[in-house]
């Protein structure tokens, strides 16, 4: 409180006038669009006015300046008021607001990073605060800069568990550079929010999570100025009691107006009423930031030395991931690692051991871990690698989906894939992860089959835009590549080849090694197969697969430690569809598995050496019979 100086009456009136101009702009934009959420904008008008024109420090014409304060609109449907703020500040043309939601406008229905002032896409509710936590953690512990992070949430999204994962994270790490504002406007989309205006309950919840919580009248610019002026050694939650549709007569605090623009005649009347309250047209200018964020370079990160593995040595790719990440950490001090309390299984603990200040323990909150990684990676401040069991990323799929919409550059490593993990059983087995990550736009899906390939995948991922997923395995398998082997995205490796090959077998991870064992067995019976390691499942090396399939009479067998749906087999089928004379036989896990030893499970589900041998013999005999 010692830093708080009450603004003079002129400033307070200017902030009220700004809030009303933001209301008018939001109504105009949504009415012109014929869709949108004007009532959700109007409840937040004073909050946005005070934040952007009194509290925050930023350069208007350089919205992504590293030293600017950050803002995340978690209630993304209130996008028109965010756009109105940037028009009021002078970054956008006022006339552009009337193009809201049009196909040729940058002003989409919810915020997206093609807008220079938007760091993360929002609109899938409950995710903004996690990203804001990542930004605040980066500001406090990596940048050690003075910028602050503000996140505006709607009261409806406070039912999302991911919000409280983020609240717990910020409270635990005492992110005193983070401010969350709850716009408690009482009404959700189809019903009132569960707590309606019981702001004292929100306050108790926030305090229980380690936050300093202040209740304010969200339409009083003076109370807001005072609340934002309070600095504590913990994150701050401003619980603003507001009214949905504030300032719109006949609509304010009324149900059934969510996501509905005002009809033109009604809008004109309401705009006139609000305009009559404005006393001064003079616009406020925000304060400039203290330029203390360090210059950061995360381009072209190279491993300090080549891999040091010996061919034939047995290594689990999950452990090779930890070794590689720790090594990469020496190449650039902006490489960071996150984990969800599985670091001694994913081996991210090796990174923590060598770079303790750059490791973020996210505990068992995978949705929040992905959001933290997204926040840390904004404005190219860090290269983030987040790891957990592959199967636990399924619960964070919405965060991963939104990370792709955010054009985020994050790297995710999923260990313990498939039935090969053994005794732990199906709840721990990643069997849907390839399907999930293949569906993510612009994602790169790495599936390294030995320690050398894993190290290369880590290095390549650090320099690759978009979402990167690295799939690692629990069993130890022999190193098959020399340390100077070159790897590229979308380039498969032909591991085994002869002029007498009759079938092309494609496997990855443990099944590649099963394929090599099958080849050894078949060779004794004078049956030769070609073995391909795809390295990346997305993008898949269609050219190499087709060339080799054609050289083996069009016969392909895929074998994978994954369900049939969306895995390697389907990726290969999609690559060869329409090609004459090509047949694909797919071996994959065909039902919910169970506990057992790794070898027993590979056998039970028909993806081991013996199953490959049988499939090859069947393909060859079918062909002979046909002849």
127 token code pair: 């995710």
* Whether residue 476 lies in the annotated active site: no
Q: Taking a C-beta distance cutoff of 8 angstroms, is the pair 357, 141 a contact?
A: yes
Query: What backbone phi and psi angles, to 5 degrees, belong to 113?
Result: -70, -5
> Where does residue 449 rank: exposed (0-12), middle (13-18), buried (19+ CB within 10 A)?
buried
Find all residues with CB under 8 Å of 596, minimum gap 6, and list them.
422, 423, 604
Considering 366, 459, 514, 560, which one is annotated as catalytic? 366
Tell me the Cα Rg of the chain: 28
Q: Which residue has the tokens 């989309």?
A: 189
Determine the 3-state secondary structure of 505 from DSSP. strand
Q: Which residue has the tokens 């443990």?
A: 510
Query: What backbone phi and psi angles, to 5 degrees, belong to 145?
Result: -115, 170
CA neighbor of 60 nearest in space, from 121, 139, 117: 117
Query: What backbone phi and psi angles, to 5 degrees, belong to 431?
Result: -125, 0
> Where does residue 276 rank: exposed (0-12), middle (13-18), buried (19+ CB within 10 A)?
exposed
326 token code pair: 């720790």
Q: Is the dihedral of CA 126, 132, 134, 140 positive or negative?
A: negative
Distances (CA, A) of 313 to 163, 480, 501, 553: 45, 9, 27, 34
27 token code pair: 């109504």
Q: Strand 536-538 vs strand 493-496: parallel, antiparallel, or unpaired?
A: unpaired
Distances (CA, A) of 370 to 85, 253, 311, 340, 388: 29, 35, 35, 10, 10
Separation of alpha carbons 234 and 62, rounded Å? 29
Residue 606 falls in which region: left (phi positive, over 0), alpha (psi -120 to 50) or beta: left
Q: Which residues of 519-557 are buried (b: 16+ CB within 10 A; e: fewer)?
A: beebeeeebbbbbbbbbbbbbbbbebbbebbeebbbbbb
Separation of alpha carbons 246 and 434, rounded Å? 47
Q: List the beta strands (DSSP E) in 425-510.
A: 444-446, 468-471, 476-478, 493-496, 503-507
The DSSP 8-state label assigned to residue 192 in this structure reads B
Between the two ends of the chain, the Cα-to-Cα distance in Å is: 89
Distances (CA, A) of 624 to 291, 553, 588, 618, 627: 75, 12, 25, 10, 5
Find all residues with CB under 8 Å of 32, minimum gap 6, and list them.
97, 98, 99, 100
Find residue 507's DSSP bridge partners: 559
Catalytic residues: 366
């Amino acid at each position: 409180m010692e830093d708080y100086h009450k603004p003079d009456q002129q400033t307070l009136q200017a902030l009220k006038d700004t809030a009303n101009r933001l209301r008018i702009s939001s109504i105009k934009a949504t009415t012109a669009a014929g869709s949108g959420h004007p009532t959700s904008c109007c409840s937040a008008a004073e909050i946005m006015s005070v934040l952007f024109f009194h509290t925050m420090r930023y350069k208007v014409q350089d919205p992504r300046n590293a030293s600017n304060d950050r803002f995340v609109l978690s209630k993304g449907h209130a996008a028109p008021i965010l756009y109105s703020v940037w028009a009021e500040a002078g970054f956008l043309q006022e006339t552009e607001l009337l193009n809201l939601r049009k196909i040729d406008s940058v002003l989409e229905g919810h915020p997206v990073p093609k807008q220079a002032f938007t760091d993360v896409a929002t609109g899938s509710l409950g995710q903004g605060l996690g990203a804001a936590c990542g930004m605040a953690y980066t500001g406090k512990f990596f940048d050690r800069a003075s910028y602050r992070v503000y996140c505006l949430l709607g009261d409806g999204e406070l039912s999302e568990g991911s919000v409280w994962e983020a609240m717990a994270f910020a409270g635990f790490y005492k992110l005193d550079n983070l401010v969350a504002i709850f716009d408690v406007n009482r009404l959700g989309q189809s019903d009132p929010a569960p707590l309606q205006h019981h702001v004292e309950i929100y306050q108790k919840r926030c305090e229980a999570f380690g936050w300093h919580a202040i209740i304010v009248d969200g339409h009083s610019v003076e109370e807001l100025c005072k609340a934002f002026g309070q600095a504590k050694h913990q994150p701050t939650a401003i619980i603003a009691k507001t009214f949905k549709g504030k300032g719109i007569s006949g609509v304010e605090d009324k149900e059934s107006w969510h996501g509905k623009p005002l009809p033109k005649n009604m809008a004109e009347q309401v705009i006139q009423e609000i305009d009559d309250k404005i006393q001064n047209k003079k616009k406020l200018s925000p304060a400039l930031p203290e330029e203390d964020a360090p210059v950061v370079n995360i381009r072209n990160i190279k491993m300090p030395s080549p891999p040091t593995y010996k061919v034939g040595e047995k290594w689990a790719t999950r452990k090779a991931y930890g070794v590689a990440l720790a090594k990469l950490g020496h190449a650039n001090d902006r490489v960071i690692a996150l984990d969800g309390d599985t670091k001694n299984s994913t081996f991210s603990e090796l990174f923590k051991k060598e770079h303790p200040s750059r490791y973020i323990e996210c505990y068992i909150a995978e949705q929040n871990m992905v959001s933290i990684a997204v926040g840390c990676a904004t404005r190219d401040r860090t290269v983030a690698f987040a790891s957990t069991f592959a199967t636990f990323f399924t619960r964070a799929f919405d965060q991963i989906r939104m990370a792709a919409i955010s054009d985020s550059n994050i790297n995710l490593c999923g260990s313990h894939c498939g039935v090969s993990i053994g005794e732990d059983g199906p709840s721990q087995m990643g069997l849907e992860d390839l399907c999930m990550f293949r569906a993510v736009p612009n994602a790169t899906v790495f599936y390294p089959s030995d320690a050398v390939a894993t190290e290369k995948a880590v290095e390549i991922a650090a320099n690759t835009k978009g979402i990167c997923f690295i799939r690692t395995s629990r069993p130890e398998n022999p190193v098959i590549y020399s340390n100077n082997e070159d790897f590229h995205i979308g380039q498969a490796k032909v591991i085994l080849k002869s002029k007498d090959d009759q079938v092309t077998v494609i496997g990855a991870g443990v099944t590649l090694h099963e394929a090599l064992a099958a080849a050894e067995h078949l060779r004794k019976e004078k049956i030769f197969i070609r073995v391909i390691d795809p390295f990346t499942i997305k993008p898949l090396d269609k050219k190499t697969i087709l060339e080799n399939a054609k050289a083996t009479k069009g016969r392909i067998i895929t074998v994978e430690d994954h369900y049939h749906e969306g895995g390697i087999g389907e990726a290969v089928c999609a690559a060869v569809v329409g090609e004459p004379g090509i047949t694909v036989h797919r071996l994959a896990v065909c039902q919910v598995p169970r506990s057992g030893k790794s070898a027993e499970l590979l056998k039970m589900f028909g993806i081991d050496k013996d199953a490959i041998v049988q499939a090859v013999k069947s393909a060859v005999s079918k062909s002979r019979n046909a002849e």
